[in-house]
Homo-oligomer: A and B are copies of this chain.
Amino acid sequence: MQEVIKKLLQPNDTKIVFCVLDGLGGLPQSGKTELEAANTPNLDALAQKSACGQHLPVAYGITPGSGAAHLGLFGYDPLIHQIGRGLLEALGLGLHITPNDIAIRGNFATVKYEGDTPVVVDRRAGRIPTEENRRIVSKITEKIKEVDGVKVNMVSGMEHRSAIVLSFPEPIGERGDEIHDTDPQLEGKSPIIATGNNPEAEKVAKVIAKFVDQVAEIISDEERANYLLLRGIATHPNLASYSEAYGLNAACIATYPMYRGVSKLVGMEVLEVGENSIKSEIETLKRDFDKHDFFYMHIKKVDSYGEDGNFQGKAGVIEEFDSFVPDILALNPDVIVVTGDHSTPANMKAHSWHPVPLLINAKNVRAEGAQGFGESDCLKGELGTFRAVDLMTLVLAHAGRLQKYGA
C-alpha cells in the first residue's frame, strides 16, 4: 500500500498524535480486561467521540515481538519487512545503525579447548553478572577498534548479553544477509564459523570470523566468559522514511532505547525526554508540538506490568496515561490515535496474538458504538478488525492527507 499512498499524498498543516501503550490489549479477570478495569474517564469520553476498532499486529493468531509489532503500526508490513534480532538488540542498547552496518547479538559463553578447537560448555557463561560483562567488554573494546578496516562498536547488555555493530565503509546491502549464527545452540558442540552463501557475503563473514577469533584470544584467560557466540546477524532494513512514505515530519517521544531506535530506522527525529515518566513525555510533546506534524508517543510500562502478571499494576499505568489525555487534547491535534503495539495480558505474562483496542479521534468519524475505551467497545466500533499495517492509511485519511484514488 505504501506505493499507492505515496502517489496520493497531499501535504497540509494537520498534526497527528499517535500514542502507543505497549502491550495494551489484555484478557479479563472477573469479566474485565486491564483496560476495562482501569478507571479512565478521559479515554472513555474520547472513545465516545472517536472511530474505534481493533487491529491485528501481524495477522490472525500471530504473537508479535516488539520490533515486528512496531513495524506494523508504522505501516511497514511485518510479514515482508523484518528487524533482525541483532539489530533490535543493538537499538535497544542505544547503538545507532546505518545501512553500512551489521548488527549482531553477542552472548558470552564458556568453552573448553580440544586441541585448538573450542567446544561449548555453557552457552551463557553461567549468566555472569552484568558488572563482569562490562569489565570484559571494556577489555575487548580497548584492544579491538577495527577489523580489516571495518569499525567495531560493542556494548554490554544484561548478564551474558551484548551487541556488536560492525561499520563497513560502504552500504552493506545483501552481503550481510543470511550469515549464519555462530552459536551451535547445543552445549558439547563447537561454535560455527561464520560463512556467507556467496563470494561477497563470504568477505563479510570473514571479518566476523576474524573478530570472533580476536575476541577469543583477548578473553581466553577469563574463567567463565572466555568466548563470544554470535546470533541474529542483521542489516539495516532500508525502510522508506516517514518523510518519503507519508510526507510527515515525524518525531518520537519514547524513553526506552529500542523504541527510540526503531523510530530512527523510519526516519523519525528522536526527541529528548527529561526523565523516564509519562509526565516527562507529555512535557516533551508540549515543548516540541510546533516543530513536527506527527508524534509517536510510546508508554512502556503497560507492557512491563503485563509481563509480570501484574493486572492491577498494568491498569494503574493506563490510569496514569489517562490523566494526561486532557493535556494532549489541549494541544488540539487534528488526529489522536490511542492503541497498543500488541496485547500483553497479565493472565499470560507474555505478548499474545489478541487484537489490540484502538481509537482514532478526528473530525470526520461516525463515532458510533463505543461507550468507553476497552476491548468490548472497540470490537463493536466502526473500524472493525483489521491488520495494523493498514492503520497509517486510515490515520493519513483522517488527517486529510490523501487525495482520491483513481479517476
Supposing A353-B397, A384-B385 touch, asked if A405 and B364 sit within 8 A by C-beta, the answer is no
Q: Which residues from B are CB-within-8-Å of A65?
A: 404-407
- Whether the Cβ atoms of A366 and B27 lie closer than 8 Å is yes
Interface positions, chain A 372-407, Cβ under 8 Å from B, are 375-376, 379-380, 382, 384-386, 390-391, 393-398, 402-407
Report how far A59 CA is from B394 CA in the complex, Å.
9
B375 contacts A405, C-beta separation under 8 Å = no
Interface pick from A82-90, A267-275, A280-288: A82-90
Within A61-98, the residues touching B (CB, 8 Å) are 61-69, 71, 78-79, 82-85, 87-89
Which chain B positions have C-beta within 8 A of A88?
Answer: 407
- Selected interface stretch from A38-46, A142-150, A177-185, A344-352: A344-352
A63 and B62 alpha carbons, distance in the complex (Å): 28
Contact B405 A27 (CB under 8 A): no
Q: How far is the CA of A347 from the CA of B85 in the complex (A)?
A: 47
Inter-chain contact A62/B402, CB cutoff 8 Å = yes
Q: Choose among A351, A375, A406 the residue with the greatest number of B CB atoms under 10 Å from its CB.
A: A406
Q: How far is the CB of A392 from chain B (nearest CB, A)?
A: 8
Q: How far is the CB of A67 from chain B (nearest CB, A)?
A: 5
Chain B residues whose C-beta falls within 8 Å of the C-beta of A62 in the assembled complex: 4, 8, 393, 397, 402, 405
**Are A64 and B368 in contact (CB-based, < 8 A)?**
no
A330 interface residue (CB < 8 Å to B): no
Residue among B8, B232, B375 making CB contact with A366, cutoff 8 Å = B375
A266 at the interface (CB under 8 A from B): no
Interface: A16 (CB within 8 A): no
* Contacting residues, chain B, for A365 (C-beta < 8 A): 27
Which residues in B have their C-beta under 8 angstroms from that of A391?
60
Given A1-B59, A364-B348, A390-B60, A379 and B379 contact (CB-CB distance below 8 Å): no
Query: A354 an interface residue at 8 Å Cβ cutoff?
Result: yes
Confirm or deny: A28 has a beta carbon within 8 angstroms of a beta carbon on chain B. yes
Asked if A64 and B406 make an inter-chain contact with CB atoms under 8 angstroms apart, the answer reads: yes
Count contacts on A: residues with CB < 8 A to the other chain.
Answer: 65
**Chain A 82-133 residues near chain B, CB threshold 8 A:** 82-85, 87-89
A249 to chain B, nearest CB (A): 20
Are A393 and B60 interface neighbours, CB within 8 A? yes
Give the residues in chain B near A85, CB-CB below 8 Å. Answer: 407
Query: What string of 1s and 0s marks CB contacts (under 8 Å) between A231-274 and chain B?
Result: 01000000000000000000000000000000000000000000
Contact with A368, one of B28, B84, B382 (Cβ below 8 angstroms): B28
B4 A79 Cβ-Cβ under 8 A: yes
Bound together, the chains give a CA A364 to CA B366 distance in angstroms of 31
Given the interface pairs A28-B367, A384-B384, A407-B84, the reply to whether A59 lies near B375 with Cβ below 8 Å is: no
Cβ of A33 under 8 Å from chain B? yes
Q: Select A60's contact among B8, B78, B394, beta carbons within 8 Å.
A: B394
Q: A4-B62, A404-B351 are in contact. Are A369 and B364 (CB under 8 A)?
A: no
Taken together as a complex, chains A and B put the C-alpha atoms of A366 and B378 apart, in Å, by 13
Is residue A355 contacting chain B, with contact meaning CB distance below 8 A? Answer: yes
Verify if A58 is at the interface (C-beta below 8 Å from B). Answer: yes
B contact residues around A369 at 8 Å (CB) = 376, 379
CA distance A58 to B402 in the complex (A): 13
**24 A-B pairs, CB-CB below 8 angstroms?**
A4-B79, A28-B366, A62-B393, A62-B402, A63-B397, A63-B402, A63-B404, A68-B405, A71-B406, A78-B406, A88-B407, A89-B407, A232-B407, A345-B364, A351-B404, A352-B397, A353-B397, A355-B382, A368-B376, A369-B376, A369-B379, A375-B382, A379-B382, A380-B380
